Amino acid sequence: MPPFIGMILAAALAFGGCGGSEDAASVDASRAAMAKILYQVRAALPNARMGDPQGYDSENLYEAVDGMAGYYIDAGFVRLARCEWRPADSKDDACLAMDLFDMGSPLGALDLLADSRTDKTVYAAIGNEAHWTDEMLELRTGRYYVKLVPHPGGAALKPLMKAVAEALVKAAPPGPADEALVSPLPADKMVPHSAAYVAKEFLGREFLSNVREAAYEAGGKRVRLFLMATDSPEKARAVFMAWKELVPPSSATERDLANMFTSSEEDVGATLVAHHGKFLVGAIGDPATARPLLESFLRHLE
């Protein structure tokens, strides 16, 4: 057996799990792919030492994420590999903890990382998207979501964080661009780092799932467009009516009563909602700005 393949299989066995509710073939494929990624990262960093990885699937994920297992599973979680990195010449206990999540698809990875964005996020040009904070570097590359956390915190391990992240992106190349992930939302004038995906309970509503969204600038104001694809026009209309009945419209013009309504909620703001074919679509923001943008998008869907 070639040494390369042997090391991959050894790594796969090192963090083999007990198997969860996912399709067994998918879990096995994920385990092998993640073992190969870790081997390639280790080979690319001769000045760093990687500890033995531990593996988690949906059955034992709760052991690793302290009450957050459902959050990851809802987003498409398949497998987690956890390990520690240290500089090769390190003589103390400082280490870099790495969590490598296989989220099943680039959308699953986007679901997680989009949640962590704030107005103060510092972005790094690593993978599809990467965030620097005082406490960690987190990123997504293709279907993988990654957290790198130094222990103890501080700047000393920052070069190692960057080196591990860049090696990982080479081993697990970035997937589609944001614009492709949230298509058919328009790519033109999309605000950078605003594309997002919510697998379940968009805006806290149980009937809103697999929703794509992004922000746009229009007239000096920012508007969020969102889209949910359903199985049929009948399903889209049913979701539309369920939302309309739950949240009384704040305005009701003749046109609103047909296929669009406007609502206003304290924790969301003004929201225009419409259905078109098999899509439920909407815009969140100043109605005078949001309505022309939404109507233009609806024409684009025709």
The 8-class DSSP code of residue 278 comes to T
The 8-class DSSP code of residue 121 comes to P
Q: Give pLDDT, residue 5.
A: 39
Q: Give pLDDT, residue 21.
A: 44
Chain-centroid distance, C-alpha 190 = 18
211: phi > 0 → left, psi -120 to 50 → alpha, else beta; which? Answer: beta
Q: Give pLDDT, residue 2.
A: 43
How do the pLDDT tens digits run along the chain, 302 residues long? 344 433 443 444 344 443 344 577 888 899 999 999 999 999 999 999 999 999 999 999 999 999 999 999 999 999 999 999 999 888 788 899 999 999 999 999 999 999 999 989 999 999 999 999 878 999 999 999 999 999 886 778 899 999 999 999 999 989 999 999 999 999 998 999 999 999 999 999 999 999 999 999 988 899 999 999 999 999 999 999 999 888 766 655 545 556 889 888 888 889 999 999 999 999 999 999 999 999 999 998 86
Instruction: Please state, in angstroms and rounded to a whole number, the distance separating the CA atoms of residues 198 and 109.
Output: 10
Structural domains in the chain, sorted by start: 3-171 (3.40.1000), 178-301 (3.40.1000)
Task: Name the 3-class secondary structure at 57.
Answer: coil
Length of the chain counted residue by residue:
302
Task: Name the 3-class secondary structure at 157.
Answer: helix
Q: Which residues contact 299 (CB under 8 A, 6 or more apart)?
A: none
State the pTM of this model.
0.88
DSSP percent split of the chain into helix, strand, coil, nearest 5: 35, 30, 35
Tokens of 265: 């909620």
